[in-house]
Amino acid sequence: MACELCGSRGQLFTSIIEGVKLNVCGNCSSHGKVISQISNYNKANVIKPRNRDFVINDIILKQGYGELIRISREKLSLKQDELAAKLSIKESLLKGLENNRIEPSIELAKRLELFLGIKIIEEVKLNSSIGHVNKVSIFTIGDLIKKDK
């Protein structure tokens, strides 16, 4: 384990520093009151996290989806009230969609795509990895506070 103030590894102590209970090294424990010493643990019993990759799927609307809907409706020679009736939605909702004032639900966007033969939603995949933290990326409270020397 690492000191929560300076990040150094070694023997840790539970101390109260400025009213906050922290696990700190011997050097940093002098800044507060030592409550107890943290016993060393057997490293063989520690379960190390495995690297896990995961994908986040996010659905976004294309820029200018309202104009795509309007142009496709006009190509089919339909009026707003006719298209609204065929999709079982209110005409005011369709007007809002065509003016980009209202964003359609995913279900409605898929119905519009199917009926009008257009693509207004895009799937964005974000890849990320969870796993070991590099020693360089350990961020401690001491990094936030300017130490008086």
| Per-residue pLDDT tens over the stretch 56-77 | 567 788 889 999 999 999 999 9
Do 118 and 138 lie in a common domain?
no
- Residue 5 inside a domain? The answer is no
> Domain range spanning residue 97?
56-126
Chain-centroid distance of CA 19 in Å reads: 32
Q: Report DSSP letters for 51-67, one per residue.
A: PEEEEEEEEEEPTTHHH
Q: Is residue 149 part of a domain?
A: no
Q: Same domain, yes or no, for 44 and 61?
A: no
What's the pTM? Answer: 0.48
For 86-118, letters b (16+ CB in 10 Å) and e give ebebeeeebbebbeeeeebeeebbebbbeebeb
What is the model's pLDDT at position 133? 47
C-alpha–C-alpha distance, residues 4 and 24, integer Å = 6
Residues 76 and 95 in one domain: yes
7 is a domain residue:
no
Q: Rounded distance, CA 89 to CA 99, Å?
A: 16
pLDDT tens per residue across span 3-28: 888 888 888 899 998 888 888 998 89
Q: Within this chain, do residues 64 and 120 fall inside the same structural domain, yes or no?
A: yes
What CA–CA distance (Å, rounded) separates 98 from 103? 10
Give me the number of domains the chain comprises: 2
Same domain membership, residue 31 and residue 90: no
